[in-house]
């Protein structure tokens, strides 16, 4: 008779997590309320005390936002998926509070358009740069406070006990969604129905996931409302190897819109980082300014409104319309160039995979699936590039070489992980091992290197 050791440790941990959150899910409202107060303090505090505060409220709030919140939320998805969204985020919770007392209108078709989160991310990222969201407390209040207000209004008006804002409009929702596919936590239907992932405004899920058909982690915010241990239906928490969903992306609703978001989002974030450090941007700005004045367009050297660009004469920073146009134009150009480069490498990989024996599924499907291999390198780049303040304590403790080593190590990890995922995706596509698989891996690796090269100055400087 075989010995029974009970469920494996991973399953036991998942069961304990389920039990804990199901028992306490009604108390999440207190967590959300506390986070809401903390959010207001971070946004309003620096404005209330001003630049001259002896308590360094402004720099502290800035560090919490860009040195802790931004990089740690991104990194957390690898371990816990979108737990930030379901368990902690005050914006999503506020949208839902608004929904309870609002008219609960049906979510309109324009909001359900799949490109909406891409547009939202691009607009907010560009606006964030032109108003100086990473530098000025007023700009942080405008961007974060403005999105909070919008979230509440959208939540108030649309959806019936849903999070229309989180599903369709949040600028970082899809970003977290893509990377959550790498995460170690999955909410899996206890009984899965055929038909694949679907959208529904019925059932308990605030993210409008058709629960028994759920295949992908992208939209799941881990609110635990669908989990009822011991019940015959609903969802159960499963712990898996990080990256497992992307390795078998064919079974998890690979989506072309998500791929475009990955390409364009990586590019726009890179553009937002590069314009501030590249001498090339200064040269282009000077040339464009001379040319515009030569045309008699004197308006370009006038400052614009403070809600659209940084106008802080007291801090010796006043952007002109020229700066606004150059920053936006540069970011869009880098976005398009990055998307074009990644499309080219992915297309080459998909074509070579076809020749290497990939089974069913045409070029389009192979292209979409292979694009997911860039997720780790894109995520690490964002953490290292835009969340560089995370490393300030390490710099104070161990000096600049330690920071370079930590960033470089993270970067290398992202690159290797991307390569590994590329290999697994090709294997699932049926590409033969050996040379047939190495050939499509090469353009995939080149794509990862393109992303890495773009962020190189963030780690090692120019």
Residues contributing to the site for ligand SF4 (CB under 6 A): 85, 89, 91-92, 151, 166, 170, 172-173, 187, 204-205, 207, 209, 211, 220-226, 235
**Is the CB of 179 or the CB of 391 nearer to ligand SF4?**
179
**Is the CB of 207 or the CB of 254 nearer to ligand SF4?**
207
**Is the CB of 116 or the CB of 419 nearer to ligand SF4?**
116
CA-to-CA distance for 173 and 179, rounded, in angstroms? 10
**Is the CB of 212 or the CB of 329 nearer to ligand SF4?**
212
**Is the CB of 117 or the CB of 271 nearer to ligand SF4?**
117
Which residue carries 């007291």 as its tokens?
Answer: 314
**Is the CB of 187 or the CB of 324 nearer to ligand SF4?**
187
| Nearest approach, Cβ of residue 234 and ligand SF4 (Å) | 8
Please name which of 323, 242, 312 lies closest in space to residue 282, comparing C-alpha atoms.
323
CA-to-CA distance for 228 and 72, rounded, in angstroms? 29
CA-to-CA distance for 355 and 352, rounded, in angstroms? 5
CA-to-CA distance for 436 and 143, rounded, in angstroms? 48
| Nearest approach, Cβ of residue 7 and ligand SF4 (Å) | 21
**Is the CB of 224 or the CB of 417 nearer to ligand SF4?**
224
The two three-digit tokens of residue 440, written as one number? 């499509």
| Nearest approach, Cβ of residue 89 and ligand SF4 (Å) | 3
**Is the CB of 220 or the CB of 370 nearer to ligand SF4?**
220
| Nearest approach, Cβ of residue 203 and ligand SF4 (Å) | 8
* Helices assigned H by DSSP within 82-229: 83, 90-101, 109-112, 116-131, 137-140, 146-157, 164, 173-180
CA-to-CA distance for 250 and 307, rounded, in angstroms? 44
Q: Which residue's Cβ has the minimum distance to ligand SF4?
A: 92
Q: Which residues pair with 342 in a beta bridge?
A: none
CA 188-192-195 angle, to 5 degrees, is: 115
| Nearest approach, Cβ of residue 299 and ligand SF4 (Å) | 37
| Nearest approach, Cβ of residue 247 and ligand SF4 (Å) | 21
CA-to-CA distance for 15 and 7, rounded, in angstroms? 10
| Nearest approach, Cβ of residue 250 and ligand SF4 (Å) | 21
CA-to-CA distance for 288 and 460, rounded, in angstroms? 30
Give the three-class secondary structure for 187.
strand
| Nearest approach, Cβ of residue 132 and ligand SF4 (Å) | 22
| Nearest approach, Cβ of residue 150 and ligand SF4 (Å) | 10
- For residue 324, what are the CA distances in angstroms to 44, 301, 310, 331, 360? 26, 10, 9, 11, 48
**Is the CB of 117 or the CB of 376 nearer to ligand SF4?**
117
Rg of the chain taking only CA atoms, in angstroms: 23
Please name which of 430, 99, 442, 126 lies closest in space to residue 271, comparing C-alpha atoms.
126
CA-to-CA distance for 408 and 386, rounded, in angstroms? 15
The neighbour count for residue 118, using CB atoms within 10 Å, is: 21
């Amino acid at each position: 008779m075989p010995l029974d050791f009970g469920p494996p440790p991973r399953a036991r941990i998942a069961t304990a997590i389920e039990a804990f959150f199901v028992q306490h899910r009604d108390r999440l409202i207190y967590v959300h309320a506390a986070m809401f107060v903390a959010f207001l303090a971070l946004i309003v505090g620096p404005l209330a005390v001003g630049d001259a505060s002896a308590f360094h409220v402004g720099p502290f709030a800035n560090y919490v936002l860009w040195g802790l919140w931004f990089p740690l939320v991104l990194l957390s998805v690898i371990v816990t998926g979108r737990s930030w969204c379901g368990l902690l985020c005050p914006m999503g919770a506020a949208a839902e509070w608004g929904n309870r007392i609002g008219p609960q209108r049906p979510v309109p078709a324009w909001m359900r358009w799949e490109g909406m989160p891409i547009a939202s991310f691009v607009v907010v990222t560009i606006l964030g740069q032109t108003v100086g969201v990473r530098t000025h407390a007023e700009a942080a209040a405008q961007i974060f406070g403005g999105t909070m207000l919008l979230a509440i209004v959208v939540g108030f008006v649309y959806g019936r006990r849903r999070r229309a804002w989180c599903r369709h409009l949040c600028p970082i929702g899809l970003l977290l969604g893509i990377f959550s596919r790498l995460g170690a936590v999955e909410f899996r239907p206890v009984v899965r129905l055929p038909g694949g992932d679907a959208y529904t405004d019925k059932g308990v899920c605030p993210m409008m996931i058709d629960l028994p058909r759920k295949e992908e982690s992208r939209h799941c915010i881990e609110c635990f409302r669908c989990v009822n241990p011991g019940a015959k239906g609903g969802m159960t928490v499963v712990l898996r190897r990080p990256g497992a969903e992307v390795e078998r992306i064919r079974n998890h609703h690979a989506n072309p819109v998500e791929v475009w978001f990955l390409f364009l989002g990586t590019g726009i974030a890179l553009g937002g980082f590069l314009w501030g450090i590249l001498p090339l941007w200064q040269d282009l700005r000077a040339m464009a300014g001379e040319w515009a004045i030569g045309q008699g367009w004197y308006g370009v050297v006038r400052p614009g409104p403070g809600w659209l660009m940084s106008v802080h004469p007291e801090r010796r920073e006043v952007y002109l319309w020229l700066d606004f146009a150059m920053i936006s134009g540069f970011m869009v150009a880098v976005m398009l160039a990055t998307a074009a480069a990644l499309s080219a490498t992915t297309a080459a990989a998909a074509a070579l995979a076809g020749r290497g024996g990939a089974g069913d599924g045409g070029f389009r499907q192979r292209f979409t699936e292979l694009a997911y291999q860039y997720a780790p390198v894109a995520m690490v780049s964002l953490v290292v590039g835009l969340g560089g303040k995370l490393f300030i304590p390490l710099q104070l403790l161990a000096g600049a070489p330690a920071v370079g080593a930590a960033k470089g190590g993270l970067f290398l990890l992202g690159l290797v992980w991307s390569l590994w995922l590329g290999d697994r995706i090709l294997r699932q596509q049926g590409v033969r091992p050996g040379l047939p698989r190495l050939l499509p891996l090469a353009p995939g690796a080149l794509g990862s290197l393109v992303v890495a090269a773009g962020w190189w100055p963030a780690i090692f400087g120019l």
